[in-house]
């Protein structure tokens, strides 16, 4: 569906966000969304195909930005490994920065995704993200090993556990609506805690 920037459409999205935040996707009511937006249910369906389409319209732009950040990040890191940059340089601009640059600025969308999306295709977002990162990190370790780094051998399950712990910690400030100052402090603590472990795994 083409993006509709009309005032009515924006009101519907605002109403949908409020309803999803209050009740979660499964318990959210199309009738209540229409009521909040000041339109009939029939009129609302001119702006979406169904309830999940409304949810998608709210969160998909942020997810696209998130995916693009990760794509650029991975390409940059492989290039840096090839260039044999220092460990300090390689560890810059990591997943903590992804939280700062993408997820926190769009925290309302990611709270919906992470806590209110049961019943949608986004309900396993965090698990899927960890699975994707798990595969990518194991590839990175193999790549570093082929370039002479004395990497630590880890299994898929071990990597999954490490990444799950890291993402859970990084996302806590977002899920619990910390202030920006509180978020920055907590992310710095998480970075200080996990970074030595990542450096050890990567053979630095």
- Whether 69 shows a pLDDT value over 70: the answer reads yes
Q: Rg of the chain over CA atoms, in angstroms?
A: 20
The residue-averaged pLDDT of 179-186 equals 94
Write the DSSP assignment of 91-124 as a string of letters.
Answer: TSS-HHHHIIIIITTTHHHHHHHHHS-TTSTTTT
- Whether 80 shows a pLDDT value over 50: the answer reads yes
Nearest in space to 138 (alpha carbons), one of 81, 201, 75, 187: 201
Name which CATH class applies to 1-49. Answer: mainly alpha
**What pLDDT, on the 0 to 100 scale, is given for residue 5?**
61
**What pLDDT, on the 0 to 100 scale, is given for residue 2?**
43
State the Cα–Cα distance between residues 123 and 25, nearest whole angstrom: 10
State the Cα–Cα distance between residues 43 and 12, nearest whole angstrom: 10
State the Cα–Cα distance between residues 103 and 106, nearest whole angstrom: 5
Q: What is the pLDDT of residues 84-107, one digit of tens each?
A: 888 788 888 788 999 999 999 999
- Whether 1 shows a pLDDT value over 70: the answer reads no
State the Cα–Cα distance between residues 91 and 85, nearest whole angstrom: 10
> Quick one: pLDDT band at residue 4, thresholds 50, 70, 90?
low
> Quick one: pLDDT band at residue 185, thresholds 50, 70, 90?
very high
Q: Give exposure, 53-66, as e/b (b: 16+ Cβ within 10 Å).
A: ebbbbbbeebbebb
**What pLDDT, on the 0 to 100 scale, is given for residue 6?**
87
The residue-averaged pLDDT of 167-187 equals 94
**What pLDDT, on the 0 to 100 scale, is given for residue 116?**
97
Write the DSSP assignment of 9-40 as a string of letters.
Answer: HHHHHHHHHHHHHHHHHHH--HHHHHHHHTS-
**What pLDDT, on the 0 to 100 scale, is given for residue 159?**
95
pTM confidence score: 0.88
State the Cα–Cα distance between residues 156 and 79, nearest whole angstrom: 24
């Amino acid at each position: 569906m083409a993006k509709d920037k009309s005032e009515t459409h924006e009101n519907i999205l605002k109403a949908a966000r409020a309803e999803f935040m209050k009740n979660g996707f499964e318990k959210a009511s199309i009738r209540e969304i229409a009521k909040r937006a000041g339109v009939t249910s029939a009129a609302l369906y001119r702006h979406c195909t169904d309830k999940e389409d409304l949810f998608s319209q709210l969160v998909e732009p942020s997810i696209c930005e998130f995916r693009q950040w990760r794509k650029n990040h991975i390409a940059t890191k492989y290039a840096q490994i090839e260039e044999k940059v220092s460990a300090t340089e390689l560890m810059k601009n990591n997943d903590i920065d992804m939280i700062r640059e993408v997820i926190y600025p769009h925290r309302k969308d990611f709270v919906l995704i992470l806590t209110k999306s049961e019943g949608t295709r986004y309900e396993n977002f965090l698990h899927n993200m960890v699975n994707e990162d798990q595969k990518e990190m194991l590839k990175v370790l193999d790549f570093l090993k082929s370039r002479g780094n004395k990497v630590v051998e880890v299994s898929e399950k071990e990597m999954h556990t490490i990444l799950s712990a890291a993402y859970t910690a990084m996302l806590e400030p977002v899920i619990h609506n910390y202030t920006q100052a509180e978020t920055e402090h907590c992310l710095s603590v998480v970075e200080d805690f996990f970074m030595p472990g990542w450096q050890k795994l990567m053979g630095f």
